Chains A and B, each alone.
Chain A
Amino acid sequence: MRNLFLILVLLFATPLFAVEPDEILDDPVLEQRARDISKNLRCLVCRNENIDSSNAGIAKDLRLLVRERLVAGDSNTEAVDFIVDRYGEYVLLKPRMSRENAVLYLTGPVLLVLGAIGAFLYLRRRSRRPSQSQGELSREEAERLAQLLKD
């Protein structure tokens, strides 16, 4: 169903481009930093699109704001903080690693550890099942065999 309904694009795909030539900074290093930052910021009126590829007006405003901050000498973190202060956490496409988001970040590792323990216990049980007797003899069996052979 899914990729089909690209309706956001219906709402926001104007023939305008995402990043436009007049936005680009002269300093390629600063511009690259701006692009990297833009990829992690959400276009607020769009559905799940970053400001780097969005055509909406607010995305353009945010792109210009990011570049303004970088030109003013902000570090990447400072520039992002500046925008989060004004637009809220919603603007971040990757939520901060905070206590509130602990569940989000810990789900993977915790499930992996629990799953690994479960899998290990299961595998160990499987590898200890009795039919080993087909191949090797258990100690009691070996003793009995030795007994029998002695007799």
Chain B
Amino acid sequence: MFAEIGHFTVLLAFTVSIVQSVVPLVGAQKNWAGWMRLADTTALAQFILIGISFAALTYSFVVSDFSLAIVAANSHSAKPMLYKITGVWGNHEGSMLLWILILVFYGALVALFGRNLPSALKARVLAVQAMISAAFLAFLVFTSNPFLRIAVPPADGNDLNPLLQDPGLAFHPPFLYLGYVGLSMSFSFAVAALIEGRVDAAWARWVRPWTLLAWVTLTIGIALGSWWAYYELGWGGWWFWDPVENASFMPWLIAAALLHSAIVVEKRDALKSWTVLLAILAFSFSLIGTFIVRSGVITSVHAFANDPERGVFILAILTVAIGGALTLYAARAGQLRTTAVFGLISRESGLVLNNLLLVVATAVVFFGTIWPLVAELTTGRKLSVGAPFFDAAFTPFMIVLVAILPLGAILPWKRAQVGKSFKNLRGALALSIALGVLVWSLQTGGRMLAPFGLALAAWLVLGAVMDLLVRARYRENPIGTTLRRLRNLPRSDWGKAVAHAGLGLTVFGIAAITAWEQEDIRVVELNERFVVGAYEFQLNEVVDQNGKNYSAQIGSVTAYKNNREVAELRPEKRFYPVQQMPTTEAAIDIGLTRDLYVVLGDKQGDSGWTIRTYIKPFSNWIWIGSLVMALGGCLSLTDRRYRVAGAARPSARRAAQPAE
């Protein structure tokens, strides 16, 4: 019964989305206020309707209604409640419904909070949003209906893949989708602006918060996924350059570029057509990601229930959306004229360089991801492009980006002198190099990676600090005044500095774990002590124990440092009978300076066990840094200029920001 209601509301939402993709557009063209206003109502209606169907599907999972095909295929009555709920999006059909729920959620947000938008722009934005939701609702209804019944329901379900039975599934996909789908807002704004043929500072100020929101949630989603892989897969890998990871990383990179170029549009009224292009590209990469994951054309670790028919459908959506937007762009971009003037050396140029590096790096990732496909189609050669390629081809761009970032961030708008700005960074640079040299002299073994990475990280963090101090004019003022000025800096300045420093922390974590990780694999007898790095470990016992829907062997390992006990670790081997699948649950003692990571293996002989032990220095800084980046984005999002009416006069804004 509930499933039928859900199915019905999906169909209703589909019809509503078709109405919304036509009527407001005509209204905006003819300047008919009533037709334009209809978009507000239909956007809310879509959200409520999809909300009902999502609730209906969730209910079917919660009560384990195995007459529903996807519940039977992905759930089990003995599964813990949390995983019954997260199981809703642990499969293709349900995750597609979540995708659409978030899409219409954004539409409803525009309808509710977009009061300050000009009515024609708002109507067009919502119409474009509705075209996207109509396309994906058609995809859902015709190829991936989550509400399909089966004639003879099984007595119990097939259970969810045990690897997905993890709290990570509760947060990782929703955040990723908020990010991916959030980029549809930038896309809709870009297409609406092209239809109108006008892009100005006000447009940039409206589009930026949506991009920021999408970028922040995407950052969190990717970081959560990386952390999940780290603790779940049993050897602590945190990034694999897998096609599906790349599919989430490419929109992130482009969104980062878009965030920066939108600033130039807003502050300087330049880079307009480029920014519109980036907005189109960012969502295009989201769509390409959806295609990669759900079509199965590219083999990936994250295989889905792949189906060529679905692939073709998404390819069609992709072609129409990207092709249509780019055609419109080609026709209209010429109208976007720029009057601004700035010197070759200026903040504007710095941001152009940022965009160049981010976009080319994205292109490298893109070509690497599709190259096996292209090579096979054109020459019939089967080849692989994996982590070693991306490490070598992608990293140099990031190193250059990081190296110039602090200077670019501190350059004044319009016209700058490198020497003058650099004077403010001399201390930061010297200190960073000194830190690198210090680490180099302290570490044993000659790898340059760690000192170099640490110096870059310090350069970013100290550069961000100097950025704030310079904004507060610390040279000309006593400490008290400087502090007050720091406090009064606009939130966007704080956001910028915090996000850049967060990137520094992530760089540090990556360099440290790559250079200093220690690994040990051995057969250990019970009560035997063994040494890994500065630690000693002892396997005390291995006991059998059963969980709710699995059986487990749990080891007890004590870690010592200088003969003092520092941690008690309990690595597990589990077996899930329904899916006939074993998993390993690593035991991790989490710390700011190192993680102790212990994995229990097979029994060897009478009392021996294979144990893998890793010491992973500073690994958590990778994710701490990502969260700090996201925090920076949130700070920017709360900047005053987005909260006051969007059309606030520039002079009023100036007055509110004394340090600008």
Contacts of A1 in B (CB 8 A): 95, 173, 176-177, 244, 247, 289-290, 293-294, 302, 304
The reply to whether A89 and B382 form a contact with Cβ atoms under 8 Å apart is yes
Against A, the Cβ 8 Å flags (1 = close, 0 = not) of B283-326 are 00000011001100001111110000000000000000000000
The reply to whether A94 and B601 form a contact with Cβ atoms under 8 Å apart is no
The reply to whether A48 and B388 form a contact with Cβ atoms under 8 Å apart is no
The reply to whether A107 and B367 form a contact with Cβ atoms under 8 Å apart is yes
The reply to whether B388 and A40 form a contact with Cβ atoms under 8 Å apart is yes
Distance A79 CA – B136 CA, assembled complex (angstroms): 49
The reply to whether B302 and A5 form a contact with Cβ atoms under 8 Å apart is yes
The reply to whether B301 and A48 form a contact with Cβ atoms under 8 Å apart is yes
A-B residue pairs in contact (CB < 8 Å), sample of 25:
A2-B289, A2-B293, A3-B172, A3-B228, A4-B172, A6-B163, A7-B302, A9-B163, A10-B163, A13-B233, A13-B581, A13-B584, A17-B599, A17-B612, A20-B601, A50-B387, A53-B235, A88-B382, A94-B392, A95-B385, A108-B367, A112-B356, A126-B270, A129-B341, A132-B341
Known pairs A1-B244, A7-B303, A8-B301; A48 contacts B386 (CB<8 A): yes
Distance A103 CA – B375 CA, assembled complex (angstroms): 10
Q: Kindly state whether residue B542 has any CB partner on chain A within 8 Å.
A: no
Distance A93 CA – B240 CA, assembled complex (angstroms): 12
What residue in chain B is nearest A129 (Cβ atoms)? Answer: B341
Complex interface residues of chain A between 13 and 30 (CB less than 8 A to chain B)? 13-21, 24
Q: Kindly state whether residue A47 has any CB partner on chain B within 8 Å.
A: yes
Distance A100 CA – B381 CA, assembled complex (angstroms): 10
Contacts of B388 in A (CB 8 A): 39-40, 93-94
Contacts of A53 in B (CB 8 A): 235, 237
Contact among A24, A93, A111 for B521, CB-based, below 8 A? A24
The reply to whether A119 and B356 form a contact with Cβ atoms under 8 Å apart is yes
Contacts of B12 in A (CB 8 A): none
The reply to whether A108 and B356 form a contact with Cβ atoms under 8 Å apart is no
The reply to whether A127 and B302 form a contact with Cβ atoms under 8 Å apart is no
Q: Kindly state whether residue B342 has any CB partner on chain A within 8 Å.
A: yes
What residue in chain A is nearest B226 (Cβ atoms)? Answer: A3
What residue in chain B is nearest A96 (Cβ atoms)? Answer: B383
Q: For B163, B228, B582, which residue has the most chain A Cβ atoms within 10 angstroms?
A: B163
The reply to whether A89 and B270 form a contact with Cβ atoms under 8 Å apart is no
Distance A39 CA – B386 CA, assembled complex (angstroms): 10
Q: How far is the CB of B391 from chain A (nearest CB, A)?
A: 9
Contacts of A108 in B (CB 8 A): 360-361, 363-364, 367, 393, 397
Q: Kindly state whether residue A92 has any CB partner on chain B within 8 Å.
A: yes
Q: Kindly state whether residue A150 has any CB partner on chain B within 8 Å.
A: no
What residue in chain B is nearest A131 (Cβ atoms)? Answer: B341
What residue in chain B is nearest A39 (Cβ atoms)? Answer: B388
The reply to whether B356 and A116 form a contact with Cβ atoms under 8 Å apart is yes
Q: Kindly state whether residue A66 has any CB partner on chain B within 8 Å.
A: no
Distance A132 CA – B393 CA, assembled complex (angstroms): 41
Binding site for B on A (CB under 8 A): 1-10, 13-21, 24, 39-40, 42, 47-50, 53, 88-95, 100-101, 103-105, 107-108, 111-112, 115-116, 119, 122-124, 126-127, 129, 131-132
The reply to whether A115 and B381 form a contact with Cβ atoms under 8 Å apart is no
Distance A126 CA – B371 CA, assembled complex (angstroms): 37
Q: How far is the CB of B79 from chain A (nearest CB, A)?
A: 16
Complex interface residues of chain B between 599 and 617 (CB less than 8 A to chain A)? 599, 601-602, 604, 610, 612
Against A, the Cβ 8 Å flags (1 = close, 0 = not) of B150-182 are 000000000001011000010011001100000
Binding site for A on B (CB under 8 A): 90, 95, 161, 163-164, 169, 172-173, 176-177, 225-226, 228-229, 232-235, 237, 240, 242-245, 247-248, 270, 289-290, 293-294, 299-304, 338-344, 348-349, 352-353, 356-357, 359-361, 363-364, 367-368, 371, 374-375, 379, 381-389, 392-393, 397, 521-523, 573, 579, 581-584, 599, 601-602, 604, 610, 612
New A-B pairs, 9, CB < 8 Å, besides A2-B293, A89-B382, A95-B371: A16-B602, A18-B235, A90-B383, A93-B385, A95-B384, A105-B393, A111-B364, A126-B270, A126-B338
Distance A121 CA – B586 CA, assembled complex (angstroms): 54
Known pairs A7-B303, A10-B161, A100-B381; A15 contacts B573 (CB<8 A): yes
The reply to whether B363 and A48 form a contact with Cβ atoms under 8 Å apart is no
What residue in chain B is nearest A115 (Cβ atoms)? Answer: B356
Contacts of B385 in A (CB 8 A): 93-95, 104
The reply to whether B601 and A15 form a contact with Cβ atoms under 8 Å apart is yes
Distance A43 CA – B356 CA, assembled complex (angstroms): 35
Contacts of B599 in A (CB 8 A): 17
Contact among A10, A39, A48, A92 for B243, CB-based, below 8 A? A48
Distance A14 CA – B387 CA, assembled complex (angstroms): 23
Contacts of A9 in B (CB 8 A): 163, 233, 301
Q: How far is the CB of A63 from chain B (nearest CB, A)?
A: 12
The reply to whether A13 and B163 form a contact with Cβ atoms under 8 Å apart is yes
Contacts of B581 in A (CB 8 A): 10, 13
Q: How far is the CB of A86 from chain B (nearest CB, A)?
A: 15
Q: How far is the CB of A29 from chain B (nearest CB, A)?
A: 13
Distance A88 CA – B233 CA, assembled complex (angstroms): 28
Q: How far is the CB of B278 from chain A (nearest CB, A)?
A: 13
The reply to whether A42 and B386 form a contact with Cβ atoms under 8 Å apart is yes
The reply to whether A127 and B360 form a contact with Cβ atoms under 8 Å apart is no
What residue in chain B is nearest A122 (Cβ atoms)? Answer: B352
Q: How far is the CB of B92 from chain A (nearest CB, A)?
A: 9
Contact among A48, A91, A101, A119 for B300, CB-based, below 8 A? A48
Contacts of A8 in B (CB 8 A): 300-303
Q: 7 tightest A-B contacts by CB?
A: A93-B386, A3-B225, A5-B302, A94-B388, A108-B364, A94-B389, A129-B341
